[in-house]
């Protein structure tokens, strides 16, 4: 598996079958990590078909190595506009972990949440989920663990012209040719997608 074969895109209601299939492919341990509890097929299906595509944002990483793209990772950003707090859940299929996929999804969700005026993003996880714990600490989230359950919180900066520009560029990448590059930007030097070589040169410090 090559990172060049992975494409991050915003998801819509039309992608519901792919989200469902991705979650169903998760093994029992991965489902427990994603939902912080044992999740049967019925629980996964019930969650999937209650997803809100108007209020919330959904992002996925697709494998583009074959004619039939498959969703290999998924992030759900649930937004409470009233409290200005978002909650994010991320799932990545086993062969695609430790390639920066979760970090990429988190960065994209943070970008959107910040530009919509949210003050904070929260992420719940099980204490033994070392991958998410490492991700939270890498992103300098405030982490607390109690009774086997963990919570990570990230305070967001107010939106700025730079953060709006970052989201515009990310949007271009999601509809055009894209590759994975290391980008130094106002969003904190995270690894993210850009549109093409010209944009890579212009926006890379």
Q: Domains of the chain, with CATH numbers?
A: 3-203 (3.40.630.30)
Tell me the whole-structure pTM to 2 decimals.
0.79
Residue 25 · residue 92 · CB < 8 Å: no
CB neighbours of residue 36 within 10 Å: 16
Burial of 27 (0-12, 13-18, 19+ CB in 10 A): exposed
Per-position b or e across 138-161, b if 16+ CB within 10 A of its CB = ebebeeeeeeeebbbebebeebee
Q: What is the pLDDT of residues 132-187, one digit of tens each?
A: 888 888 888 888 888 878 888 999 999 888 888 888 887 776 665 444 433 434 44
| CA 200 – CA 205 distance, rounded (Å) | 9
**Between vectors from CA 120 to CA 116 and to CA 121, what angle results, nearest 5°?**
95
DSSP calls for 54-101: TTSEEEEEEE-SSSS-EEEEEEEEEEETTTTEEEEEEEE-GGGTTSSH
User: How buried is residue 130: exposed, middle or buried, by Cβ count under 10 Å (0-12/13-18/19+)?
Assistant: exposed
Q: Give the pLDDT confidence score for residue 2 in this predicted structure.
A: 52
Over residues 12-57, the pLDDT tens digits come to 999 999 999 999 999 888 888 888 778 899 999 999 989 999 999 9
């Amino acid at each position: 598996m090559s990172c060049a074969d992975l494409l991050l895109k915003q998801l819509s209601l039309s992608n519901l079958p792919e989200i469902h299939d991705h979650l169903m492919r998760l093994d029992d341990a991965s489902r427990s990590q994603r939902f912080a509890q044992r999740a049967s097929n019925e629980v996964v299906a019930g969650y999937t078909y209650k997803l809100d595509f108007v209020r919330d944002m959904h992002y996925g990483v697709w494998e583009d190595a074959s004619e039939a793209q498959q969703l290999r990772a998924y992030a759900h950003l649930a937004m409470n506009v009233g409290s200005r707090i978002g909650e994010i859940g991320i799932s990545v299929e086993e062969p695609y972990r430790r390639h920066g996929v979760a970090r990429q999804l988190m960065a994209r969700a943070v970008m959107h949440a910040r530009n919509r005026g949210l003050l904070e993003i929260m992420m719940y996880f099980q204490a033994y989920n070392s991958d998410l714990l490492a991700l939270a600490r890498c992103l300098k989230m405030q982490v607390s663990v109690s009774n086997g359950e963990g919570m990570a919180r990230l305070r967001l900066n107010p939106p700025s012209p730079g953060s709006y520009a970052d989201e515009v560029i990310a949007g271009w990448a999601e509809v055009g040719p894209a590759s994975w590059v290391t980008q130094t930007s106002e969003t904190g030097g995270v690894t993210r997608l850009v549109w093409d070589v010209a944009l890579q040169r212009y926006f890379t410090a």
